[in-house]
Amino acid sequence: MTNSIEPIDDTETLALAQALITKPSVSPKDEGCQALMIERLTAMGFDITPMPFADVENFWALKDSGIPGPTLVFAGHTDVVPAGPLTDWTFPPFAATVSDGWLYGRGSADMKSALAAMIIACERFIHQQGTFTGKIGFLITSDEEAAAKHGTVRVMQALADAKIHFDYCVVGEPSSSQTLGDMIRVGRRGSLNAHLVIRGKSGHVAYPDTLINPIHQAMPAINALACKQWDQGNDFFPATTFQVSNFNAGVGVQNVVPGDAQIEFNFRYSSASTQAGLIAQTKRFWTHTVSTSKSSGRSQVSPF
């Protein structure tokens, strides 16, 4: 066994990253990304176990050296968030364009370049080392950017049920801003999604005394929630944040007030807060804010 590792050929990693980016794998669709990875891993001698759950594709891959030692796992996801309006992109989101030394495309940072780097690193390591101790694994999902219910969580449970454990895990999420590793965290913030329905009373805009506008009812309360300081954070995490991601209301015309408004929002919370605590605070805060307003519509907040 040699201790020297030759530099990785950037062009090879780039080519694989581009091949992955050109597949429009908007969550939870995989669109062939995993098949491409499985082909490379199979060629390296990995045993592949597909683990689909519901509408999500996942797989577990393992290469056992046959020599006792620790198990190192590479974990990641092939799905990406929606591209949004194509006119807002300088380069098409799934064209994987290289310009002025930068790779442009949906998933180039989060996290198809990392998937490519994992694969190429393993290929080079196995080629150069020949033999090694322990095992190398891959845990890949296509359900990280949306519901995240049938991906890593389900695979981890299935592995635990099968008595499969590992010692170390490298997660390929982007963790650098200015210098290598400057965004690495001890643990990870929690993520809580919620759905808010505000019931008003529909009517013509010319007769405001006969209606309850759910949009007007929502605005001061949402602003108050956005301005509220939920906690102070701590040495490991910034303070908890609140963000509205979707606001839907209206019947498509300008002279009718809708009967309800639906709002989706998210908490990225530090270990100074808990999911149960945030839910309870939000319900109390919303009830108090609505009760002090002039509107008398009904509202309901529920976590996803």
Show which residues are catalytic.
79, 144
Contact partners, residue 20, CB within 8 Å, separation at least 6? 33, 36, 37, 78, 107, 112, 115, 116
Give the whole-angstrom CA distance, residue 115 versus residue 277: 36
Residue 91 falls in which region: left (phi positive, over 0), alpha (psi -120 to 50) or beta: beta
Can you tell me the distance from the alpha carbon of 109 to that of 104, in angstroms, rounded to the nearest whole number? 9
Residue 210 per-residue DSSP state: G
Report in angstroms the alpha-carbon separations of 43 from 23, 72, 107. 21, 19, 25
Bridge partners of 64, per DSSP, are 135
Helices assigned H by DSSP within the chain: 10-21, 33-43, 113-129, 152-161, 214-227, 275-291
Say if residues 241 and 268 touch (Cβ distance below 8 Å). yes
Instruction: Check residue 238 and report its DSSP letter.
Output: P
